[in-house]
A and B are shown apart, each in its own frame.
Chain A
Amino acid sequence: EPEVTQTPSHQVTQMGQEVILRCVPISNHLYFYWYRQILGQKVEFLVSFYNNEISEKSEIFDDQFSVERPDGSNFTLKIRSTKLEDSAMYFCASRRDGQGGQPQHFGDGTRLSIL
């Protein structure tokens, strides 16, 4: 069964450094998402992406964050200048199309640790 893949599985970065998290969504999917879970808290929505542009973003997704689909297969989340509070598990998800009643398909996540 096709799946969403994320790399790396674990990223350790110094505070203030830039980090890029990578995702390969399921190939015929059109809608893409990033979520994160800070340890002990709920999974939170960051951003959704469709037709090569952001369709919705949360308050968390400030100017330090950006997303890109550079080559038609990868979907990346960049954090420009990381802060300690960016430490979390980051999940990518994709969905086939805009029809109601479809689930999102999640990757295994990238654990980001900011030192």
Chain B
Amino acid sequence: ILNVEQSPQSLHVQEGDSTNFTCSFPSSNFYALHWYRWETAKSPEALFVMTLNGDEKKKGRISATLNTKEGYSYLYIKGSQPEDSATYLCAFPNAGNMLTFGGGTRLMVKP
């Protein structure tokens, strides 16, 4: 059983704050690391698929880094906005692309 963990479980920030959260995953048999953004009553939406150690990806105010040797990825949000409020999931695929999910970080941004 693969262990994919996310911290913190939930986070409350003020609009304009920058924030970050962590996903840890097994450092062996690494294929990729996925990040998804999941708003209530909607489908999880892919943010990033990271494949190389040292990868850094960016989409607007959201960016992610990857360390495959130590088994962690950080997701950063710069200048949080209320519309960033969502659950952020990381997922670790096996060779067959079966995803093992972390528990998610629930972000709430107060105006």
State whether the Cβ of A108 lies closer than 8 Å to any Cβ in chain B.
yes
Give Cα A108 to B43, complex, Å: 4
Give Cα A35 to B43, complex, Å: 12
Q: Which A-chain residue is minimally distant from B41 (CB atoms)?
A: A108
Complex interface bits, B78-103 against A, C-beta within 8 A gives 1, otherwise 0: 00000000000101000011111111
Name B42's contact: one of A55, A98, A108 (CB within 8 Å). A108
Q: Which residues of A contact B11 (CB under 8 A)?
A: none
Q: Is the CB of A45 within 8 A of B100?
A: yes
Complex interface bits, B27-59 against A, C-beta within 8 A gives 1, otherwise 0: 000011010100001111110010100000000
Q: Is the CB of A56 within 8 A of B46?
A: no
Residue tally, chain A, CB below 8 Å to B: 26
Q: Which residues of A contact B104 (CB under 8 A)?
A: 42
Residue tally, chain B, CB below 8 Å to A: 23
Give Cα A95 to B98, complex, Å: 11
Q: Is the CB of A43 within 8 A of B101?
A: yes
Q: Is the CB of A48 within 8 A of B44?
A: no
Q: Is the CB of A91 within 8 A of B97?
A: no
Q: Is the CB of A31 within 8 A of B97?
A: yes
Q: Is the CB of B43 within 8 A of A109?
A: yes
Q: Which residues of A contact B103 (CB under 8 A)?
A: 42
The smallest beta-carbon distance between A100 and chain B, in angstroms, is 6
Contact (A103, B34) CB under 8 Å given A42-B101, A43-B89, A45-B98: yes
Q: Which B-chain residue is minimally distant from A98 (CB atoms)?
A: B97
Q: Is the CB of B46 within 8 A of A107?
A: no
Contact (A48, B97) CB under 8 Å given A107-B43, A108-B41, A108-B43: yes
5 contacts between A and B (CB under 8 A): A35-B99, A48-B98, A104-B34, A108-B43, A109-B43
Return the 8 tightest CB-CB contacts between A and B, nearest first.
Answer: A103-B46, A43-B101, A106-B43, A106-B44, A56-B96, A108-B43, A45-B98, A101-B49
* Interfacial residues, chain A to chain B (CB-CB below 8 A): 3-4, 31, 33, 35, 42-45, 48, 55-56, 58, 91, 95, 98, 100-109
* Interfacial residues, chain B to chain A (CB-CB below 8 A): 31-32, 34, 36, 41-46, 49, 51, 89, 91, 96-104
